[in-house]
Structure 1
Amino acid sequence: MRKLLKVSRSGYYKYINQTPSKRSVENEALKEYITDIHKQFKMCYGYRRVKIELDVRGIIVNHKRVYRIMRECGLSGKHPRKKHGNYKKVQQDLIKDNILM
């Protein structure tokens, strides 16, 4: 397989035997926290509110990191819908004649 991918033997075994980095372990823990917060608040919170909730829980993390992790997990907040006015036609029988003239 390594010949097919044109990778050296030492590079292949280095990749296979590598241990996960500290950052990747932290990201996995953050994924769990973020998905819990997202589910807890009925999937309405976007990355800004999730970041604030993490700060409240004592987990200090950059908003860009929260955004990236949420994007990797496929999470996003609900967007508010535009509210349209309730337009009614003007009924002709409601318009009164001008009797002053």
Structure 2
Amino acid sequence: MAGKSAGKWYWEIRASGVADAYYTYFGVTDTWPPGHNVGGAGGVAYYGNSGSIYNIGVATTANLGHLSQGNTVSVLLDMDNHRVSFERLRTNNPSLTEIK
């Protein structure tokens, strides 16, 4: 989903394999192509190995936990209010982390 500058957007990422879960960064960036720096300057990203949320390349205190095979994380992007939220979808205990 490239080139969004306004509006509200939602998507889900499901880890379908061990490598998918363990070595995965995903999020939003203002740089295209993002390469290996999604959580770098101008970006916010979730890192599946540690569960940390990175904001402009720095780990925040927010942590959704390690992403395992079969887990799903939703991303809520509000370009109008400059907010991004990550939610790790679990059966009984959803976790929501919002970065502004």
**TM-score range normalised by the length of the shorter chain:** under 0.3
Instruction: Decide which structure has greater helix share.
Output: 1
Task: Choose between structure 1 and 2 for higher RCO, CA contacts under 8 A separated by at least 6 residues.
Answer: 2
TM-score by length of structure 1 reads: 0.17
TM-score by length of structure 2 reads: 0.17
